[in-house]
Chain A
Amino acid sequence: MLSVEDLYAGYGAILALRGVSLQVKAGELVALIGANGAGKSTLMATIAGVLRPFRGQITFEGQSLLALSPEEIVRRGIALVPEGRRIFPSLTVAENLRLGAATRRDKAAVERDIEEMCTRFPILGKRFHQPGGTLSGGEQQQLAIARALMARPRLLMMDEPSLGLSPILVDEVFAMIRQLHKSGVTILLVEQNVERTLDIANRVYLLNTGRVECQGTPEQLRAQVDIVGAYLGDMWRGD
């Protein structure tokens, strides 16, 4: 479904990705782990079209994404829950959700999906007419995920959705990701919460300073626990 080949990208003179290759097949939940600054967010931003790669190829369902703008890439079916949530603070919850469906023309279905989001995330229904900026961190995270789902993406990319949440909310977020995956959404997940991520992922890539250090099924990564531990330090041992 998604294929990244030998990707180089960065910021000005800073090279943040140095030859990353990665595959996501339809229906998979692929996790991307790695220490801070490894290049995980950069990879997602490049796939989403926010950053132009220096070299390499990105294809989605057989077509190259390289020349496309972010707004065209969403239309191809890739939605991003970005690092730091980035909900629209001055827009109400309702408006945030409606914008999430900006690429869709099926008005009635959009309305139905908004209702469904409010059922799936009851807090969004409760805060429906409040500005997004007044929501707590956990609520904003739910809104960011719901907003991305409103696009009915075939591939959902999530960048550290559990960051900064209380333990209970972290549980909820992971339960939700698992449920989304079960319902058929293909997911590319960036997480610092390695142990729990290995529990739900089909395959895992470990990124280190812009390169794929190792990859495989969670079992394969667990077998290489020493290598992984060396890169991730304390994070590996517990949360």
Chain B
Amino acid sequence: MNVLQEVLQFLINALSLGGLYALMALGLVIVYGILRLVNFAYGELVMVAGYTLLMLGTGPLPWLIVAAISVGMAVLTSLLLERVAFRPVRQASATTMLITSFAVSALLQNAAILFVSPRAKAVVTPSFFTENFQVGGLLISKGNLAGLVVSLLLLGLLTLFLRRTLLGIALRAAADDFVMTRLVGIRANQVIAAAFAISGFFAGVVALFWIGRLGSVGPFVGSTPVLVAFVAAVVGGMQSLTGAVIGGYLLGALTVGLQLVLPQSLLDYRQAFVFAIVLLVLLFRPQGLVRGTTITERV
């Protein structure tokens, strides 16, 4: 491979992984921006979508329908968690909400252990995810390309939603100043539900690709995505959606880049290198790369 090919290959892989990471981070930050809640149960939304894929995957439905239902389940679960777990503690301290999110996360993982299996199960995924094709000497994974396109598409749609619709504008306003948003007449429950729905939607879409790559789903399938999302969000700046996207792509590029440059013997420690670099970034910019707008009181 010549240099140009290598660069192109790197770009495709980095943009694909980075795009997924960006979606993960966005799902976390869109809720954090409004409630100041780091929702660690976010990973379990990926899990719920994964188990839906598992259960319906062997049935008669075409994969795209199964995928849509799985994403829908993640959205429903996210809305349900907001309603039964987070709304009752909304007025409580940030710590209370954080602990609630840990509890919900553990509860869902244990439910999966109890009712499904403690072990990961193979999921039927379309061969699509593991197939490659060649263009001008370039070996491109179809799954990666799809991830790249879908993430860019969703980022575009989210941007349109946030800029063009009243609900979208209200979501951004609520991240600026929640009380003032209520004072202009936006219903608190409505914006919060919208944030959780979007968060669940992104978790569901991420699950399709994540589990498509892994080929299996287990009770802890969400722990890596939620960690990645959290790290990307912190690097980008927890209070900025743009930051989350930048953080996601940066983390994706780092991960893919290290895979290229690290010698074989160190490849296993790739994650450690990624986190070391992240720590360095935070040392120089503790607030993350993108600073959000002023925080006022929560709800």
Contacts and interface: CB of A to CB of B under 8 A. Distances in A.
Interface string B40-57: 000000000000000000
Contacts of A120: none
A223 to B, nearest CB: 37
A53 interface: no
A69 B299 CA distance: 12
A135 interface: no
Contacts of B294: 89
A73 B183 CA distance: 8
Contact of A91 (B173, B179, B187): B173
Interface in A96-118: 98-100, 102-103
A114 B208 CA distance: 43
Contact of A71 (B173, B176, B188): B188
Contacts of B169: 91, 95, 98-99
Contact of B188 (A69, A74, A90): A69
Interface string A45-89: 000101000000000000000000111001100001010001011
A147 interface: yes
A62 B184 CA distance: 22
A27 interface: no
A89 B180 CA distance: 12
Q: Interface range on chain B: under 10, 10 to 19, 20 to 34, or 35 or more?
A: 20 to 34
Contacts of B187: 69, 71
B151 to A, nearest CB: 23
Interface string B144-173: 000000000000000000000010011011
Given A69-B188, A71-B187, A99 B176 contact: no
Contact of B183 (A82, A89, A95, A133): A82
Given A91-B169, A98-B169, A99-B170, A74 B183 contact: yes
B136 interface: no
A212 interface: no
A90 B183 contact: no
Contact of B182 (A69, A147, A151): A69
Contacts of A147: 184
B170 to A, nearest CB: 7
B185 A74 contact: yes
A86 B184 contact: no
A103 B176 contact: no
A103 B186 CA distance: 7
Interface in A165-215: none
Contacts of B271: none
Contact of B176 (A48, A80, A88, A151): A88
Nearest to A94: B169
A90 B168 CA distance: 13
Given A71-B188, A98-B166, A91 B183 contact: no
Given A70-B183, A74-B183, A99-B169, A133 B188 contact: no
A71 B293 contact: no
A81 to B, nearest CB: 10
Contact of A88 (B177, B182, B188): B177
A91 B296 CA distance: 15
B293 A99 contact: no
A89 B181 CA distance: 12
A88 B294 CA distance: 9
Contact of B179 (A50, A98, A99, A100): A50
Nearest to B180: A86
B180 A71 contact: no
Contacts of B182: 50, 69-71
Contacts of B184: 74, 99-100, 102-103, 147, 151
Nearest to A89: B293
A71 B174 CA distance: 13
B176 A91 contact: yes
B176 A89 contact: yes
Given A71-B182, A88-B176, A91-B176, 10 more contacts: A48-B183, A50-B183, A69-B188, A75-B185, A86-B177, A88-B172, A90-B175, A90-B292, A99-B186, A102-B170
Interface of A: 48, 50, 69-71, 74-75, 80, 82, 86, 88-91, 95, 98-100, 102-103, 133, 147, 151
5 contacts: A50-B179, A74-B183, A88-B180, A89-B294, A103-B185
Leading 10 A-B pairs by shortest Cβ distance: A103-B185, A74-B185, A70-B182, A102-B185, A90-B293, A88-B176, A88-B173, A86-B180, A89-B293, A71-B187
